[in-house]
Amino acid sequence: MAEGAQGTLLDIDFGSYPFVTSSNTVCAGACIGMGISPRSIGEVYGIFKAYCTRVGSGPFPTELFDEDGDKMREHGHEFGSTTGRPRRCGWLDLVALKYSVMVNGVTKLIMMKSDVLGCFETIKIATAYKIGDTVTEEFPFELPENLEPVYKELPGWNCDLTSLKSEDEFPQQLKDYIKFLEDELEVPITIVSVGPDREQTIVRE
């Protein structure tokens, strides 16, 4: 089992250059860096938050500079563990997530911190980018400054999820959110986290 420590968009070859790290963070990096044969790779688990965050500078199409961004940051405790620096927060970016799924060959997804979105009546998901007069669902080679996210709005669950013990207890709005993502990504979300504790990790059947 190999665990990646940094996100796909920090990959030196496939990330949002020049805002990247110095190595390959995608799944194939395990083959190059550890000498693992590609034929030995079984499942590829893609881990993502129910919303987006970024540390430091770099492109962030769905970044929020308003009260919603502040609420995400506070509820998600999105501050640097060492420096305490506030992380940049925004709505989930499906364009970037689809790109990450493709580049890594993800076979199963794990959605973290779904409880953080429990304070919103409406949740937005970026399904495309508008660049000038063009709307695209493809992740561009370079992210231009005039890029605008195109949002799909879904009803929020607007409740506390942290005491839930099974998928059967999920509010319908959360089930709808998961189904929408699975339909768009064409990859099953097999684990949903509703809090930081090990017991708050719910495996879906």
Residue 171, pLDDT score: 97
Instruction: Parse the chain into domains and list their residue ranges.
Output: 1-42, 43-203
Q: What predicted TM-score, i.e. pTM, was given to this entire model?
A: 0.92
User: Burial level of 32, CB count in 10 A (0-12/13-18/19+)?
Assistant: exposed
Provide block-wise average pLDDT over 10 residues at a time, the chain (205 residues): 86 91 92 91 95 90 96 94 90 97 97 97 97 93 87 97 96 98 98 96 92
Could you give the CA distance from residue 33 to residue 23 in angstroms, rounded to a whole number?
A: 9
Overall fold of domain 43-203: Adenylosuccinate Synthetase; Chain A, domain 3 (3.90.170)
| pLDDT score of 6 | 83
pLDDT of residue 53: 95
pLDDT at residue 180 in the model: 98
